[in-house]
Amino acid sequence: MIRTQEVVFQYNSETQFQFPNLQCNAGKALLITGASGKGKTTLLHLLGGLLKPTSGSILINTTNICQLSSKRLDYFRGQNIGLILQKAHFIASLNVLENIELASWLTDKTKKHEKAKELLSLLGLEHYASKLTSQLSVGQQQRVSIARALINEPQLLLADEPTSSLDDENEQIVANLLADLSQKYNAALIIVTHDQRLKERFKTSIEL
């Protein structure tokens, strides 16, 4: 579960965002929408601990991530937060399976080989494990990003514009996968997007 209270982020004296309080329980989904420049990606980075707010609190279960040191926050993020960013940032020299395993290795120095294979199977990518990510379609790359985000079974799954570059068929596939997998792994799912198609799949939303 994630809950925020009076979160404010100030880039400079002229640019300040005051975000509405939000809550998303385990296994549930929340859509955050809004026009460009309203702070959607900034909010996602705050929720994921990539930025620290100027004021306010962000609680993931009982942990206020705003109070963690940088080192403790990095460890907490690896253990508890799965990030699906707009640009995947794969390691080009590694194959699909190795890119997913790397996320577990960076967190606790173990390669979750069987878990990575299980996720690829769930996402219909088991036949692509040995391919380079550059050999995949955009929709397939997005599914690899989802697998990588889930490898450590996070409590919170954050997705930044996961469908904006996808056609209607792949948008539905990815949206359904995100919803189904968040329930399967009992993770709170927050999606930041301007893709209006997602409103048909996710009924709980906040507009910035």
CB burial string 9-47: b at 16+ within 10 A, e below: beeeeeeebebeebebebebbbbbbbeeebbbbbbbbbb
Confidence class of residue 43 from pLDDT cuts 50, 70 and 90? Answer: very high
133 pLDDT above the threshold of 90: yes
Domain 2-207 grouped into CATH 3.40.50.300: yes
Report which residue type is found at 74. D
Longest dimension (CA), the chain: 52
Instruction: Give the span between the Cα atoms of 59 and 77, in whole angstroms.
Output: 13
CB proximity list for 28: less than 8 A, separation 6 or greater: 182, 188, 189, 204
The pTM assigned to this predicted structure is: 0.90
Confidence class of residue 120 from pLDDT cuts 50, 70 and 90? Answer: very high
Instruction: Give the span between the Cα atoms of 117 and 121, in whole angstroms.
Output: 6
**57 three-state secondary structure:** strand
Higher pLDDT, 190 or 196: 190
Confidence class of residue 98 from pLDDT cuts 50, 70 and 90? Answer: very high
109 pLDDT above the threshold of 80: no
Domain boundary assignment for the chain: 2-207
